[in-house]
Amino acid sequence: MNRLNLFGTRFMDPWRQLSGLQQLGRLLPATPGAAHQHPAVNLFAGNEELLLTMELPGIDPEKLDITVVGDTLTLRGERAADEVKSGESYHRRERPAGTFARTVHLPFEVDATKTEATYDMGVLQVKLTRPESSRPKKVAVKSV
């Protein structure tokens, strides 16, 4: 359907153009590292705490390095490559191997001394606590 505006020229529909770009995006191969960072992170935020989870199967938790400074958490680690025996080769290799580092900017500063990390069945959970001094305070309104 050709729609014309007041000047007699063709009406430009930005939603139709966006739809066309989305379809084009499905045809192009994904660029490694452009939209997806590894390891994937979920971050749940409350007023006083944050809970960060990462799936890290096959990682030795003793070899993980977690650093918290202000409102930034950095995780470093290494996943060993699967050993290929003599006479064997990969048919498919999708799991990444080698060293990795992931930095996550948090929605508020946290108290690094109260940070706790647990690793269970391949999932890392990091609990981060907001310092008392930066927590939102309710202010009572007094009538004069």
Strand pairing report for 72-79 and 98-105: antiparallel
Is the pLDDT assigned to residue 34 strictly greater than 50?
A: no
φ and ψ of 111, to 5 deg: -90, 105
Is the pLDDT assigned to residue 128 strictly greater than 90?
A: yes
Residue 113 in contact with residue 132, Cβ under 8 Å? no
Q: For 45-90, what is each residue's pLDDT tens digit?
A: 988 899 999 999 888 899 899 999 999 999 999 988 888 888 888 8
Question: What pLDDT is attached to residue 83?
Answer: 84
Question: What pLDDT is attached to residue 91?
Answer: 84
The reported pTM is 0.66
Give the residue extent of every domain in the chain: 38-82+97-132
| Second CATH level (architecture) for the domain 38-82+97-132 | Sandwich (2.60)
- The confidence band for 42, taking pLDDT boundaries of 50, 70 and 90, is very high
